Each structure stands twice: as C-alpha cells, then as structure tokens.
Amino acid sequence: MSPAPSQLQWKISSWVMIFRTALEERLVYRGDFALGTLMRFLPIVTQIFLWFAVFDAIERKGDNTDGTIGGFSFQEIVAYYLLTMLGRAFSSMPGLASGIAKQIREGEIKRYLIQPIDLIGFLLINRIAHKFAYYVIAAGPFALVFFLCRHYFISGWPSLTTLFAFTLSLVMGFLIGFFLEASIGMIGFWFLEVSSLLFVYMLFSFFLSGHMFPLSLLPDSIEYFVTFLPLKYLAYFPAAIFLGKIPQEELLFELALEAIWLLFFIALCRVAYSRGVKRYSGYGG
C-alpha cells in the first residue's frame, strides 16, 4: 500500500526513536557509571603486582633469557589486560540473554509478534545506544587509566593498518558478543530457566575469551583447540592485534575468519528465533 521510500523512512525514524530513548535512559545514571568504570580497573592493580612478581622470579633465576611468557613480556601482559578491558567494553552484553529469556518466560515477547518491530533489531539498536552512552561516560576513566599506564605500551602506537584491524575486530567483537548471547537467550523458547546455563557460559567465556590471561600462555595442545573457538574474539583477539601478536600476513585471514563466525551467529540467532516463535505458546498475561 505505502510506497517503499516512506516505509524505509518510517523504519529509520522508529530506529532513531528507539536509539534516543535508550540513550537517555542510560545517561540518567552517569555518576554511578563513571565511578563503576574506574573501579573495574582495580583488579588490574593486583594483576600488575602478580605478574611483576612472576617475571621477577623468572629473571632472577636466569634461565629464560628473553624474559617472555607465551610471547609476552611483563609490560605487554599489563598492556594486554588493559586492552582486554577495552575489548570487553565492546563485547560484553550484560543482561542480554537473561533479558530475552525473561521476556519469553513472562510472555512479553508477544509484543514483537504483534507490533511491526523486529525483536532482534530492536535489541540491537538498544544495545548500540547503551554501549554508546557507556563510551561517552567511560571515555574519561579509560583515557585516564591508559594515560597513567602508557609506559606499559613499550612499542608505542601501532601502525595505521594495525589500528584499523584493531577497530574492525572491536566492532566485530561487539556484534559476535551480541548475536552469540542473543542465541543463548533464544534457548529460553525450549527451556524456561536458562540462568544456570548462562552462568556456565559466563565462566567458560571468562577463561576461554582470554579475559583471565593471554591465550598464548596455554599449553600448545590446548591452545590449538581454544583458538578454534569463537570466544577468543571477545577479548584475546583485539588485544593481540593491538600488541602485534598476530603476524601482519595472517591478519586479513584471521579477520575474514572472524567475519565468518559473525555470519554464523547472525544466522544461528535468526533461525533460533523463527523456530522458537513457531513453538511459542504465550505463557503469562
């Protein structure tokens, strides 16, 4: 009935509306936010001292001549932890999967079946707005901490190509994080209670994403399998790019691989949603 351009216009204006509402909603708690962001760096203080003690012991013993662990020097490991904070700021999706599962359980999901708004699109725009608000407020604390810790970045700024690849990996990390967690939330169509499952996923992701330590520290046989998993894109991969741990000639291939994983999770999420809606039977009021 309506011509295509106006339909598109309508869609865009509703997206903009969703974005603005979500943004305003977030900016209400900015004080709490900024303080919380600074505090989140506190565990890194412990990590700095722990790794100093470890490297100190290795150096004094003197049989490890190049003074690196898994290809990382002491400064690089600290820089790595700081960079994973940045990676996690993009890829972590607090409350996404549990939110979807809750909407399914309480029947709120009916809204999206009736209204001309796509659930996944709506959540994605919401999430982008939340992240955007977060970066606006967290930029200060992040800049402060990175400035104070600048001497840990021993090789200075990486090349423009690396920076570009780094940015690309952060953006794709965000999208993989989103579609991966949304897919987990869709499990709620089959099992009503997913919170324990989610907890198990969070545990694994903390370990296998490289948030706990650089994945190259793992014993070779385990590292081989872990680097096949997509979880590394949530933290390890962007940081490794920035620190030049991914050889230039493999960079394009690795990024292409990440893009394939991203497409896989988009497809998985879509399929799970359409299958789920088919078997959905509207509990609650």
Residue that the structure tokens 């898994």 belong to: 70
Which CB, 70 or 121, lies closer to other proteins? 70
Name the segment binding other proteins (CB under 8 A); options: 106-114, 129-137, 193-201, 266-274: 193-201
Q: Looking at beta carbons only, is 74 or 142 nearer to other proteins?
A: 74
The window from 43-51, 76-84, 129-137, 224-232 that contacts other proteins (CB under 8 A) reads 43-51
How many Cα atoms occupy the beta-carbon half-sphere of 273 within 13 Å?
23
- Give Cα separations from 248 to 143, 159, 234, 243 (angstroms): 27, 11, 20, 12
Decide if residue 145 touches other proteins (CB under 8 A). Answer: no
Cα–Cα distance, 95 to 260 (Å, whole number) = 25
146 part of the interface to other proteins, by CB under 8 A: no
Indicate which single residue of 14, 19, 58, 120 sits in contact with other proteins (rule: CB under 8 A): 58
Q: Which of 35, 139, 144, 263 binds other proteins (CB under 8 A)?
A: 35
Which residues pair with residue 69 across a beta bridge? Answer: 72
Asked whether position 278 contacts other proteins by CB under 8 A, the answer is: no
What mask of x and - would describe binding to other proteins in positions 204 to 223, judged by CB under 8 A? --xx----xx---xxx----
Does residue 125 touch other proteins according to CB under 8 A? no
> CB of residue 217 vs other proteins: minimum separation in angstroms?
5
Q: Is 69 in the site for other proteins (CB under 8 A)?
A: yes
**Is residue 87 a contact partner of residue 173, using CB atoms and an 8 Å limit?**
yes
Q: How far is the CB of 258 from other proteins (least distance, A)?
A: 24
Distance CA 47, CA 41 (A): 10
Stretch that binds other proteins, among 38-46, 153-161, 176-184, 245-253 (CB under 8 A): 38-46
Three-state secondary structure along 197-218?
HHHHHHHHHHHHCCCCCCHHHC
- Contact positions vs other proteins (CB under 8 A): 32, 35-36, 39-40, 42-43, 45-46, 49-50, 52-54, 56-61, 64, 69-70, 193, 196, 199-200, 203, 206-207, 212-213, 217-219
